[in-house]
Amino acid sequence: MKEETAIHVENLTKMFGDFTAVNAISFDVKKGEIFGFLGANGAGKTTAMKMLIGILTPTSGNADVAGFNVNTQPESIKKSIGYMSQKFALYDDLTVKENITFFGGIYGLTRKQINEKRYQLVEELELQEIVNELVSSLPLGWKQKIAFSVALLHNPKIVFLDEPTGGVDPITRRQFWELIYKAANKGTTIFVTTHYMDEAEYCDSVSIMVNGKIEALDTPKKLKEQFNAESMNDVFLKLARG
């Protein structure tokens, strides 16, 4: 595995009975890159991602995440990655502060580190007013921003985002992506799945999954050239329609 590779995937396959959810996919994600993992519902995105974050064992194939093998070292992977899912990453009945303390705690941060991080986060996201509010009282956009920051609490090498911007308005999505850029600039590798094709344009590299296979993999610009398309949306439609 090369020094600058964050994720290295080789013929990764997952079968559920006779059904092949993920069919021998291979790709590399460079360090500090924003990697867009696209595909229609049921294309196998989530299954592939679950194997990479160590909660699903591959049927065959191999992958290294942050330098650890998914088959043999899933526990080490868990320590070096952050994860935010399409459902909520925060507890609604806990305050923002309590959420930060809890997630910092389960990733093994000391009380001092947690306090520092919280202070930093409150400053950055301007949370002064709401830090002691219950998460349930916050608007969706806020929750997602905080959830993302919480996923970064323990300074993971790679952050996995599973459809992080589902259900929010374009402005909030824009703000969310600014946060993603900020994290990527600091050297964090971002692995993001999304439905929104406009978001694919923001990525450094994009892979498109169709029926368990990766059908296209390149920078958005090159993909558009390759498929002779105006936007990523067109690329996707051309691929999905075969």
Partner 1 sequence: MKRFIGFIKKEFYHIFRDKRSLFILFGMPIAQIMLFGFAITNEINNVDIAILNNSKDATTEEIINKLNSSSYFSIKEFIQNENEIEAIFKKGHVKAVLNFEADFSKKLSTKNNANVQIITDATDPNTANTISNYVSAILQNYTQTINKNVTITYQIIPKTRMVYNQELKSVFMFVPGVMTIILMLVSAMMTSISITREKELGTMEILLVSPLKPFQVIVGKVVPYIFLSIVNAIIIIILSIFVFNMPVQGSLFLLGIESILFIITSLSLGILISTVSVTQQTAMMISLMGLMLPVILLSGFIFPITSMPLPLQIISNIIPAKWFIIIVKGIMLKGVGFTFIWKETLILVGMTLFFIVLSTKKYKIRLE
Asked whether 39 and 208 are in contact (CB, 8 A), the reply is yes
Q: CA-CA-CA-CA torsion for 207, 36, 155, 98, nearest 10 degrees?
A: -130
d(CA 228, CA 237): 12
| Candidate residues 106, 126, 129, 228; the one interacting with partner 1 per rule CB under 8 A | 106
Give me the least distance between CB of 159 and partner 1, in Å please.
11
Say how many residues touch partner 1, by CB under 8 A: 29
Q: Which of 237, 54, 229, 212 is nearest to 220 (CA)?
A: 229
Which of the ranges 4-12, 21-29, 34-42, 51-59 carries the binding residues for partner 1, by CB under 8 A? 51-59
User: Which residues in the 131-190 window bind partner 1 by CB under 8 A?
Assistant: 160
Beta bridge partners of 213: 210
* In the complex, least distance from residue 136 CB atom to partner 1, rounded to whole angstroms: 10
Return the residue of 3, 75, 126, 129 that touches partner 1, per CB under 8 A.
75
Q: Which stretch binds partner 1 (CB under 8 A): 22-30, 81-89, 175-183, 190-198?
A: 81-89
Q: Which stretch binds partner 1 (CB under 8 A): 97-105, 118-126, 137-145, 182-190?
A: 97-105
CB of 154 to partner 1, least distance (A): 9
Q: How far is the CB of 165 from partner 1 (least distance, A)?
A: 15
Query: Out of 62, 69, 102, 217, which residue is the one contacting partner 1 (CB under 8 A)?
Result: 102
CB under 8 A: which stretch of 82-90, 116-124, 188-196, 209-217 binds partner 1?
A: 82-90
Dig out the tokens for 237 from the structure.
């439609």
Three-state DSSP class for 109?
Answer: coil
Kindly state the tokens that stand for 38.
């696209």
DSSP 34-101: EEEEEE-TTSSHHHHHHHHTTSS--SEEEEEETTEETTT-HHHHHHHEEEE-SS-SS-TTSBHHHHHH
Q: Which is nearer to partner 1, 93 or 129 (CB)?
A: 93
Q: Which letter does DSSP use for residue 135 in this model? A: G
Assess contact for 191 and 7: CB atoms under 8 A.
yes
Stretch that binds partner 1, among 26-34, 64-72, 93-101, 233-241 (CB under 8 A): 93-101
- Does residue 108 interact with partner 1 by CB under 8 A? yes
Question: HSE (CB half, 13 Å, CA atoms) of 70?
Answer: 27
Interface residues with partner 1 (CB under 8 A)?
Answer: 53-57, 75, 78-79, 81, 83-89, 91-94, 98, 101-103, 105-108, 160
